Structure 1
Amino acid sequence: MGFSEAVLWWEEWQLRVLVLCSLFLQFFLCFAGYLRKRQIPSWLRFLIWLAFLGSDAAAIYALATLYNRSKRQEWVTMHRRSASLQALWAPILLVHLGGQDGITAYNIEDNELWRRNVLTAGSQVTVAIYVFCKSSSEDMIIFIIASILFFYGTVKCVQKAPLYEALQLSKSGCNITKLVHDYVAKGWTEHHIKDIATYRAFNDNRGQWTLRREGLLDILRWSLQRPFHESVLLWHLATDLCFHFMLTPPTHEAASQCREMSNYMAYLLFVNPEMLIPGGSRTQFKAAYRCINQFIHNDDGPAANTALDENEIALKIVVNALLDEDGSDIVQYAGKLASLVMRCSDMDEEKMWRVIQGVWVEMLCFSAGRCRGYLHAKSLGTGGEYLSYVWLLLLYMGMETLGEKMQRTELDEDGMAAVLYRYNQNI
């Protein structure tokens, strides 16, 4: 088949191919669209994204083909029987352009484009009306079916714009949220939190309560007075060092929970630092990786070419941190922190993991309360984050929101210490 024959074949069959392609994409989105809200493989999420973009493109291309054919009177005359059947295709394509109920918008940013969607829907309906009128069938049954589909498709297209607009943040919605927040706060906090100082301390602590309860605050306070993303990385490394140094079995319940929280917070630090804390950065994470990699491979001793397991690496880092008191990188600090936690716990695993567990729970709540609500909403489109559940729980309990934290006029002792530490690091 030559190029000219291929062009003629495409002219004859392109409408059928495009309609079938559009129909296939709509069936795929009908079943796969709801999976987007769950944790699914990246390749399946990529296919859903392609189908979401391609569904509109295929339907618009097919509608444009119908429009061009309806303008060619000679084609309508030669294919009168086919043109009569095509009276159904414009309404069907209009229904396709209305989209699936389970995936109105792929990203939260699409909600900001509702004005553009109004114009797009208007142009699509106008073209469909023209094609429908030009290819109206003399068969009354086909005409009735096409009219019903056309009405349904028009409603679907016009309905998309109000849906986008309704999903935007509104002042009235914020006021309702504040009303519910205040109502729940009065019901829970008046029995448990008596004064504003305690209320703020509950919101601001990121491990201090646990350390104070265990009598370790004076010794380990320094690990929590660093910028939050650095404290997360520091305690993440220290948690793994304690686990491997103490040869804790993987079945240990408290140790398993601590490592899950630790790994999750480290995952947020590397993948989504802005959700962990506003202004968060993964730079320290990369620096720690390079430092550990260099630390493992720069051994000039007799075991330089011997592969070390995780327990041996943990032992090496902790011992090196104890011998080199002048070390200033994050891995050295993590080794010192791990040794202090183990020593202050009198090498008692139960107490050690109780301390680490309490610190991670406070850090998780601290991070959830400081993540913007917009990021929580945005994460729902990709299956959601565990941090969002913690945030909702804190909000239900009446805890302070990020906006309220940002409007404070003073800092507590630990907050001021973190600011001074960052200032001294920069000068």
Structure 2
Amino acid sequence: MGEKVTLQGWLYNKRSSGKLHFLEVRDGSGICQCVVFKGEVSPELFARADHLTQETSLRVTGTVREHGKLKGTFEVGVAELEVLAEPAREYPISPKEHGTDFLMDNRHLWLRSKRQWAILRVRAEIVAAVRDYFDSNGFTLVDAPIFTPNACEGTSNLFSTDYHGDPAYLTQSGQLYMEAAAAALGKAYCFGPTFRAEKSKTRRHLAEFWMVEPEVAFLDLDGDMDLAEDFLVSVVSRVLDKRRKELEILERDTKPLERVQKPFPRIRYHEAIEILRKAGHDAKVGDDFGGDEETVISQGFDRPVMVHRYPIDLKAFYFKRDPKDLSLALNVDVLAPEGYGEVIGGGQREEDLSKLEQSIDVHKLPREAFEWYLDLRRYGSFPHAGFGLGIERTVAWICGLPHVRETIPFPRMLNRLHP
């Protein structure tokens, strides 16, 4: 307090009261109230401040002092003000209400709003927490390719492209490559963009999204669930510790997040079916779960719930069957509470070469595209497991957002490729 400072930023909002102009100036790190008092500046500067428009870029110099009404809050008493650039036209996103399509069309500008600023900072904290968790727990980051010759789960929901005359796809997962990395490093993870060409318009789907995918050698399903549980608790705790201010801006009730503690409830797929039936859903064994079903299942728990051992027919070719019931997969989905659905999906992989070959045939996948993947079983096969966490769904859950379109700077959806 009492220190002379210079802020460089943009005018977020302005109001005047007689001999005072209150300028809300954002500089990327936050928003500071800068007060222009008629008796402390030249008449020219006072008049100039009165005509500033939203998003004018400024350089403000003044003295830090405590806010007159809010204890513990500080403002800047302006002594000098320099206009660096004025908007060429009226800023399109005013403080009034705007429709979603309009805001999405102006996403490049909407990012400047207080709400979007808070979301992006929470997202950045989640990403940092993800990296720090794996980096500090013996994992090695391995970059998976974006172009792939094969699909993890079939090609019906992949973006295809030409790769120097050969067909290729934008990756839907780095998992298969992480299995190769686990054989080299023991514990590996990839973190990058993935792509799904699903023709879906739900609030949980994007065409381009980010995933973190760890894979661990000599890990079974129980160990995989332990890892996913510990990891998710660590990420949520980190955000609560470091981004309280941003969560307050988003008006996020943090009590549900504070209950994200170990142990998570673990239920079998068949128990989940019974939960749905008791809730009035016409659910039967063999049904997959969509967003509505996941919401109902999670409503009975105050923290994430792990649903494991789905029917093998619902899962990708690489899942290992439960040796106690060959009709079930050794898989797990982690459903976030409050209706946010699946944030983690994973499980144990089939390490037996002949069984994996048979599964590839059953799923009618091209064997030649997976020869390299089968080599992992031909040369020193080993039990292993892993999972994938979707960053955007996690951001939506932690921030309490109704739609994933706000969780990524420039969302790519079924009918949106711009800006």
Give me the TM-score of the superposition, normalised by structure 2: 0.22
* Larger radius of gyration between Structure 1 and Structure 2: 1
Kindly indicate which of the two structures has a greater share of residues assigned to helix.
Answer: 1
Higher relative contact order (CA 8 A, sep 6+): 1
- Which is strand-richer, 1 or 2? 2
Q: TM-score, normalised by structure 1?
A: 0.22
